[in-house]
Structure 1
Amino acid sequence: MTVVAVVAEPPREGLVLQELAETTPLSAAEAADLYAAAYKDVLRAVDASGGDLLVNYRSDVDIPDEHQGEQSAEDELRALAREAVDDIDEARFEVQVGTSRSARAGNTITHLLESEEVKSAAAVPPTTPLMARTHVDGAAMKLRNNPVVLGPSLGGEVYYAGFTDTIDFQGAYEPPAVETLATRAVDAGHDVEYTELLPTVDTADGLTTLVTMLRSRVTAGRIVPEFTTKLIDDLGLRVEDDGDPTLVRD
């Protein structure tokens, strides 16, 4: 089984998805709500897959004073997880180690592969609500024959990075992350395979794409991520396109 580490922060106003509050109709509080909804959908997808769920959370001591909450980061993320998965006791929660995205993901993957001797491990952000069980399981299948599997997103980002062997993770997520990770993998002598491209909600472009895809799926009667879809509907988000797709609110 692949251990899938969801590298997450507590969804607090101003701490997460701040770019959305500056570039979309969402407020900082609504952006935090979106992060929480996407986090729950991602956890549900991993929990439903054949992989093992690990929530890799940001330590309270690493969170700026202005973003400290009434609950600890772990307690806050556990409470949200209980709304998404059937048995929270089957999920692992471990604190992140590292001061950058590359370091946090790299330390987690390296520890799992070398110290725990798992066969494969993956790092995913909690911001890709369209990532379903089939994507997680499909990537795990590809990892049987490829040491590195990447899930590309818009703007050269990645929503999935899976490994059966380590690479040099220092600065491995420097943009464009999908290209940097592939270069590090090839430098380490590894073959690279890819999964389907999916949007994340980290940027206005990603959220715009997600909103159109979710509305299309609802219209077509297809499966959608429950928590994110409901929130987007509650917020009245939709896309207008007069030559330039733009997020608006009803």
Structure 2
Amino acid sequence: MTTVAVLVDPPVEGAVLERFSGGLLDAGEAADLYSAMVRDICRAVEDSGGELLVNYRPADQVPADVDPEQSLREVLEPALASPDEARYEVQVGETFAGRVGNTVTYLLEEENVTTAAAVDPTGALLSRKRIDSAAMKLRSSEVVLGPSTEGRVYYAAFSDTIDFEDAYATPAVETLTDRARAAGLGVDFLPSDPVVARPSDLRSVIPLLNARQRAERLVPPRTTECLADLGLTLDIDGDDLSLVR
């Protein structure tokens, strides 16, 4: 069983998806979209063969008057089939790479789990199938990465540790691979999927979700519904796609 740590920021206005705020979305709408992605990705982990670990930011790294654990419980518990089985633990570290490294290293070395993975909620298209596929690949490779657009990763799973300092430096898929190979570890990959970290990502995500729906294939339901409710669509001009509302 892989313990999958979802590294989550409190889904409140002004604290998440800041690149969306002030443009097509206001801060509240950006928080709504982030909350939908958190629900989808945590439910995918719950439905997989893995163990869900909700890794939340400490109180001194979130807006004042926000309880980081409680804010996540309020968002997540209605979306989970067995909310009492989800683990909630505080993140340790100043950078994303540092927080991933501390969590993965602790799980592998202190809790003696066999495999551990880390994911950010912006990888909302992560499915149960991808998580279980990564678990299978970890039987023959110590590191399994889910590549995304522009060299990013939506999923990173480990059966051994690497040097995590600045391990997510752009392009993260290359940096993580180089760190794994430097440690003498094997690397394998999942199929590529887009992430939703900035508005331009929606030029890839929206057509993919539309196509999957028309083909009656799996989509992240809450994220898909939220994007539809927000009225985010693409304007097509020849070969050019632009995001409109």
Confirm or deny a common fold (TM above 0.5). Answer: yes
**Which residue does the alignment assign to 1:159?**
154
- Unaligned 5+ segments in structure 2 are none
Cα drift, residue 207 of structure 1: 2.1
Q: Distance in 2 between matches of 1:224 and 1:102?
A: 28
For the residue of structure 2 that corresponds to 1:169, the secondary structure is: coil
Q: Distance in 2 between matches of 1:94 and 1:208?
A: 34
**Which residue does the alignment assign to 2:201?**
206
The answer to whether the 8 A contact 1:150-1:162 is kept is yes
Q: Distance in 2 between matches of 1:135 and 1:14?
A: 31
The answer to whether the 8 A contact 2:92-2:99 is kept is yes
Q: Distance in 1 between matches of 2:42 and 2:70?
A: 15
With normalisation by structure 2, the TM-score equals: 0.96
Measured on the aligned residues, the alpha-carbon RMSD in Å equals 1.2
The answer to whether the 8 A contact 1:156-1:177 is kept is yes
- Unaligned 5+ segments in structure 1 are none
**Which residue does the alignment assign to 1:248?**
244
The answer to whether the 8 A contact 1:212-1:238 is kept is no
Q: How does 1:67-216 map to 2 (within 5 A)?
A: 67-69=63-65, 71-216=66-211
Q: Distance in 1 between matches of 2:200 and 2:181?
A: 29
Q: Distance in 2 between matches of 1:25 and 1:208?
A: 13
The answer to whether the 8 A contact 1:124-1:160 is kept is yes
Q: Distance in 2 between matches of 1:113 and 1:223?
A: 32
- Amino acid of the residue matched to residue 43 of structure 1? C
- Amino acid of the residue matched to residue 168 of structure 1? D
For the residue of structure 1 that corresponds to 2:21, the secondary structure is: helix
Count of aligned pairs between the two proteins: 244
Q: Distance in 2 between matches of 1:201 and 1:4?
A: 19
Q: Distance in 1 between matches of 2:100 and 2:146?
A: 15
Cα drift, residue 245 of structure 1: 1.4
